[in-house]
Amino acid sequence: MTTAKETSEPLRILDAAIDALAEYGYANCSMQRIADHAEVDKRMLHYYFGDRNGLTVQIAERVGDRLLAGFTSAIEGLSGPREIAAAGFESLWENVVAEPRLHAVHLGLVSAAVTDDSLRAQVARIRDRYSEVILQLAERGRKAGLELRLNDETLVGLILAGLNGLTVDYLQRGETEELTQSLAEFQSWLMQLARPLADA
Amino acid sequence: MTTAKETSEPLRILDAAIDALAEYGYANCSMQRIADHAEVDKRMLHYYFGDRNGLTVQIAERVGDRLLAGFTSAIEGLSGPREIAAAGFESLWENVVAEPRLHAVHLGLVSAAVTDDSLRAQVARIRDRYSEVILQLAERGRKAGLELRLNDETLVGLILAGLNGLTVDYLQRGETEELTQSLAEFQSWLMQLARPLADA
Amino acid sequence: MTTAKETSEPLRILDAAIDALAEYGYANCSMQRIADHAEVDKRMLHYYFGDRNGLTVQIAERVGDRLLAGFTSAIEGLSGPREIAAAGFESLWENVVAEPRLHAVHLGLVSAAVTDDSLRAQVARIRDRYSEVILQLAERGRKAGLELRLNDETLVGLILAGLNGLTVDYLQRGETEELTQSLAEFQSWLMQLARPLADA
Amino acid sequence: MTTAKETSEPLRILDAAIDALAEYGYANCSMQRIADHAEVDKRMLHYYFGDRNGLTVQIAERVGDRLLAGFTSAIEGLSGPREIAAAGFESLWENVVAEPRLHAVHLGLVSAAVTDDSLRAQVARIRDRYSEVILQLAERGRKAGLELRLNDETLVGLILAGLNGLTVDYLQRGETEELTQSLAEFQSWLMQLARPLADA
DNA sequence: CATGAATGAGCGTTCATTCAT
DNA sequence: TATGAATGAACGCTCATTCAT
């Protein structure tokens, strides 16, 4: 109770856990390592989160929060149709570059979720939250006069697939020349799919 | 060696290992589990592959072989420009649907490689092989009169990003309506990027 | 202390603890489980009973109280010699059937006491109390004209051995045909050992 | 392989485990303690017996073997009716006195089995084996001219209840005067129940 | 009385790996 | 090749207990 607004201990641990996951990878990140990373006794993890699954669920939740926090704050101010269309995906991507470790952890969760049912639900939740925000943006775009050539779900699917695919490339090989160009191409394609009415 | 065409024991084990990885996930797949899955004593794994890392490297190699085998055989016969442009990505995707478990394992390796140096090299190798084949296809397309609006590396980047992103979606949520549409859209975009000269 | 007849909190906890012991068995009944069962924070157990040993001692005491309460109340009214001889063991047994869980806990304590000195004293105390009541009953029998062919301690020994042995059978296998017959045989034997003078 | 007839390692460990159980009691006997007692690394227990349950099952099996071994060898030579009737229970009891620790472990298993299903089956098995041997003895008694006033199952029930009850007394309080007398009384009762035809 | 936090010790179990035969 | 046995290290988790408020 040293400062007035102190983030809660569980939250601090979760962020440390995410960092540990980024450090060692999902497969090699034991509770001991997370505890060490958070400078907490290993049993406190059980105290706060119950068991390993409870911790993982909370980690996934926190990952979702942080992934979305970066995105939502970035697109809050956008208003004009062009701006919305152009900046939407850009914001998504900037978040990847700003927090690559967070996205690496996300990728780890997504990958692990393929064979882990309890994780699957958590990962689906993150996708849903992404979806929700993207749809809100699309809605605002439409109101601002943007004509979207695709139905909502397909748009979300394409954007997230693009984001994920390019993120994998980024995490694998870093910021290459080709990636930058791929990004530009992908973005201009999205612009095509969502062009202001005036362009027609 | 009783019959002429008998796959070697190490190879059989590798395929069993891939199956085990698909079953339990990269994080939960111990050597014991792999051994059980292959119906081999676990010490045979050390006999054939040295240590865990050696086995993983070989698994990655084998995953690459199988991923590429499906792809190369599919595109071997293509000749006309339209055919090449249209069927290229389609073949890639069909392989995903035909062997989702193999692609799940691949995703697991890609994800683990982010924090594991020895895996990173292996995974990069798989990407390189993909790249090589795609470039060969592009080359054949060009010779058949296809005009590619992008440089080679960017084209590969875009195709692989799309493939990976959509594969993640497929592994996460199965064959949804949206995914089918996303695929169609993505493909038509690729057609745009690589249109026959005659279209101009 | 809102109502006049409210059992004290420690007593309530003890009964809950006995129930937990019956549920999980002596070996698998941690303080946490007892606390959960009693819907009390586990630290309250330390507050009321000191440590694990203190709790166990109190539990044994309470088990003794409840075992004996059932018995003494049942034999209070007996007066005639036949009645005393006949009903004595019957009451003991009825208590087993009425509260099998309590007797299961008792058996657990007896068994644990074999290797646990502090428990041994507690369990011996329960036996002593049984002994006392049986002897009182015998005394009353004698005054009512019953001739007991055995000295007091041997009688107690036989009765308790029979009770324990048959209880073990009951707890192991439930109310079988054989058990019912064994009970009848045992009882008629006791009748033989303690027959009214008039029978001679 | 130093001597020709060396008891197998698992068997040696089981006997050490039984000894450890007698030492610490069922509730306080961890695998570590068993391992220490057997002078084996704790993981060898898993190597030989799988998990804790597997070990316990084998222990129960071994306890049964040893309980019965003492009994069967003792009654093998009996032939005359009086001998059989007299010596039957005596042999049972001599085994208790000869191996009190073994019987203490048995009591612990019986007690734990009340709340543990997997143990219950094992304990029932031991009872069945006892039953079998007692019935064989009864059969031999009958052939030798012994008239048994009870049906088989009831006889077994009474004998085992008596044995268990008196064993509990013995384990609780040792070899007391009263116990000796109780034994004598119990035995003479059994003689009553099974008297040679000639006596009638 | 009650609660949040912590701790030393130990639980049963599994990890990858090695040795000897 | 194959097998029985072993091992250092760690796993996730629970034990009874204590401290501070």
Which residue's entry shows tokens 């990847």? Answer: A96
Which protein residues, judged by their CB atom, are less than 7 Å from any atom of strand F? A 30-33, 42-43, 46, 51-53; B 9, 41, 43-44, 47; C 30-33, 42-43, 46, 51-53; D 9, 40-41, 43-44, 47-48
DSSP-assigned states of every residue in chain D: --SSS---HHHHHHHHHHHHHHHH-GGG--HHHHHHHHTS-HHHHHHHHSSHHHHHHHHHHHHHHHHHHHHHHHHTT--SHHHHHHHHHHHHHHHHHH-HHHHHHHHHHHHHHTT-HHHHHHHHHHHHHHHHHHHHHHHHHHHTTEEESS-HHHHHHHHHHHHHHHHHHHHHH-S-HHHHHHHHHHHHHHHHHEEEGGG-
Q: Is C177 on the interface with D (CB under 8 A)?
A: yes
pLDDT tens string D53-71: 999 999 999 999 999 998 8
Query: 3-state DSSP helix/strand/coil percent for chain A, to nearest 5?
Result: 80, 5, 15
pLDDT at residue B41, as a whole number: 97
- Window 106-125 of B, Cβ < 8 Å to A: 107-108, 110-116, 120, 123-124
Which parts of chain A register pLDDT below 50? 1-5, 199-200
- pLDDT > 60? residue D34: yes
Give the 3-state secondary structure of residue C108.
helix
- pLDDT > 70? residue C197: no
Instruction: Look at C178 and D107 and tell me if their CB atoms are within 8 Å.
Output: no
Which residue's entry shows tokens 């060696």? Answer: B1
Which residue's entry shows tokens 């309590």? Answer: C102
Nearest residue for E13, CA–C1': D51
CA of C49 to C1' of F15 (A): 17
pLDDT tens string B90-109: 999 999 999 999 999 999 99
pTM (predicted TM-score): 0.92
CA of D40 to C1' of E21 (A): 21
- pLDDT > 80? residue D6: no
Which residue's entry shows tokens 């001991």? Answer: A32
C36 vs B199: which has the higher pLDDT: C36
Instruction: Look at C166 and D165 and tell me if their CB atoms are within 8 Å.
Output: yes
Stretch D167-180: mean pLDDT: 96
Distance separating alpha carbons of residues A63 and B86, to the nearest angstrom: 38
Q: Is D25 on the interface with C (CB under 8 A)?
A: yes
CA of B48 to C1' of E16 (A): 15
pLDDT at residue A196, as a whole number: 57
CA of C52 to C1' of F17 (A): 9
Stretch D167-194: mean pLDDT: 93
Tell me what percent of the residues of chain B surpass a pLDDT of 90: 72
Stretch C113-118: mean pLDDT: 95
pLDDT at residue C6, as a whole number: 66
Q: How far is CA B1 from the centre of its chain?
A: 30
DSSP-assigned states of every residue in A134-151: HHHHHHHHHHTTEEESS-
Tell me what percent of the residues of chain C surpass a pLDDT of 70: 94
Residue type, B27: A
pLDDT tens string C59-95: 999 999 999 997 888 788 777 777 787 788 888 999 9
Q: Which residues contact A116 (CB under 8 A, 6 or more apart)?
A: B25, B28
How many other CB atoms sit within 10 Å of the CB of residue C4?
5
CA of B27 to C1' of E17 (A): 19
Write down all domains in chain B, each with its CATH number in brackets: 4-50 (1.10.10.60), 65-199 (1.10.357.10)
B43 Cβ within 7 A of any nucleic strand E atom: yes
Instruction: Look at A107 and B111 and tell me if their CB atoms are within 8 Å.
Output: yes
| D163 pLDDT tier (thresholds 50, 70, 90) | very high
pLDDT at residue C184, as a whole number: 94
Q: Is D177 on the interface with C (CB under 8 A)?
A: yes
Give the one of D114, D172, D186 whose C-beta lies nearest to C127's C-beta: D172
Q: Which of residues 27-56 of D touch strand E (CB under 7 A)?
A: 30-33, 42-43, 46, 51-53
Q: What is the mean pLDDT of chain B?
A: 91
pLDDT at residue C116, as a whole number: 96
Which residue's entry shows tokens 């906890």? Answer: C13
DSSP symbol at A26: G
Q: What is the mean pLDDT of chain C?
A: 90
Instruction: Look at A182 and B154 and tell me if their CB atoms are within 8 Å.
Output: yes
Contact D63, D105 (CB under 8 A): yes
Query: 3-state DSSP helix/strand/coil percent for chain C, to nearest 5?
Result: 80, 5, 15
- For the four alpha carbons of A119, A122, A128 and A134, in that order, the dihedral sign comes to negative
A6 φ, ψ to 5°? -110, 125
Q: Which of B84-88, C45-49, D183-187 has the lowest mean pLDDT?
A: B84-88
pLDDT tens string D100-146: 999 999 999 999 999 999 999 999 999 999 999 999 888 888 888 88
Nucleotide in closest CA–C1' contact with C30: F15
Nearest residue for E4, CA–C1': A47
Q: Which residues contact A84 (CB under 8 A, 6 or more apart)?
A: A75, A78, A137, A140, A141, A144, A146
CA of B172 to C1' of E11 (A): 37
Stretch B57-81: mean pLDDT: 89
pLDDT at residue C144, as a whole number: 86
How many other CB atoms sit within 10 Å of the CB of residue C143?
11
Query: Among D32, B150, D180, B87, which residue's Cα sits nearest to residue C154?
Result: D180
- pLDDT > 60? residue C154: yes
> Looking at the DSSP assignment, which residues form a beta bridge with residue D173?
none
Which residue's entry shows tokens 């009872």? Answer: D127
Stretch C156-165: mean pLDDT: 96
- pLDDT > 50? residue C56: yes
Distance separating alpha carbons of residues A173 and A27, to the nearest angstrom: 21
- On chain D, the residues whose CB falls within 8 A of the CB of C26 are 26-27, 111-112
Distance separating alpha carbons of residues C103 and C170, to the nearest angstrom: 10
Stretch B25-44: mean pLDDT: 98
Instruction: Look at A181 and B157 and tell me if their CB atoms are within 8 Å.
Output: yes
Nearest residue for E17, CA–C1': B51
Instruction: Look at C107 and D116 and tell me if their CB atoms are within 8 Å.
Output: no
Report the half-sphere exposure of A10 (CA within 13 A, side-chain side): 13
Distance separating alpha carbons of residues C29 and A31, to the nearest angstrom: 27
pLDDT tens string B166-187: 999 999 999 999 999 999 999 9
